Amino acid sequence: MKLNERSLAFYATCDAPVDNAGFLYKKGGRHAAYHRRWFVLRGNMLFYFEEPASREPVGVIILEGCTVELVEAAEEFAFAVRFAGARARTYVLAAESQAAMEGWVKALSRASFDYLRLVVRELEQQLAAMRAGDSRRRAWAPNGPPHAGSFARLHEWYGQEVRALRSQWLGSRSRAQP
């Protein structure tokens, strides 16, 4: 895949909200030393910078097809971003605390489009199940609120109740006035 460096740098530093950001220690590719870097997660791209104010990333990791797992390492709170394949690189990262590590592992695990595809599929199945159950529920409670369907139907159902209560209130107010 070919990426335009200027577009990538703009995306990495734009003002849009990020999925996660913070300092992590990144183990060097050729060196055993860890370097403290500022990481920014946007979608399925993990950018890393020298400092939070840097305008261009030092690098980017495209997270598609990766797994995120805890690892034994010299640094505490370490985890790895692994890719499948014989020549694929593994990125070893470490957070500054247990909570930060858990937050990063969760965010990175959810960053791929494959994960989002699974979530959408699961939500579609839940919606189908709710709709199937809703038709059975309506048979038992025909005067109750619609459990599924359009927002407009639900809004209209509750609107009728609000209009009736408002009419009662206005009627009681006019009777109370001399």
Q: What is the mean pLDDT of each run of 10 residues along the chain (178 residues)?
A: 75 89 90 91 95 93 92 90 87 95 95 84 88 62 55 69 77 70
Please name the amino acid found at residue 58.
V
Q: What is the pLDDT of residue 141?
A: 47
Q: What is the pLDDT of residue 149?
A: 57
Q: What is the DSSP letter of 155?
A: H
Per DSSP (E only), the strands in 12-128 are: 20-27, 34-42, 45-49, 59-62, 66-70, 78-83, 90-94
Q: Which two tokens stand for residue 116?
A: 């989002």
d(CA 155, CA 76): 52
Q: Is 48 left (phi over 0), alpha (psi -120 to 50) or beta?
A: beta
**Number of other CB atoms surrounding residue 162 within 10 Å:** 9
Q: Is 125 left (phi over 0), alpha (psi -120 to 50) or beta?
A: alpha
Please name the amino acid found at residue 20.
N
Q: What is the pLDDT of residue 140?
A: 44
Q: What is the pLDDT of residue 135?
A: 58
Spatial contact of 149 and 137, defined as CB atoms under 8 Å apart: no
Spatial contact of 148 and 134, defined as CB atoms under 8 Å apart: yes
Spatial contact of 48 and 35, defined as CB atoms under 8 Å apart: no
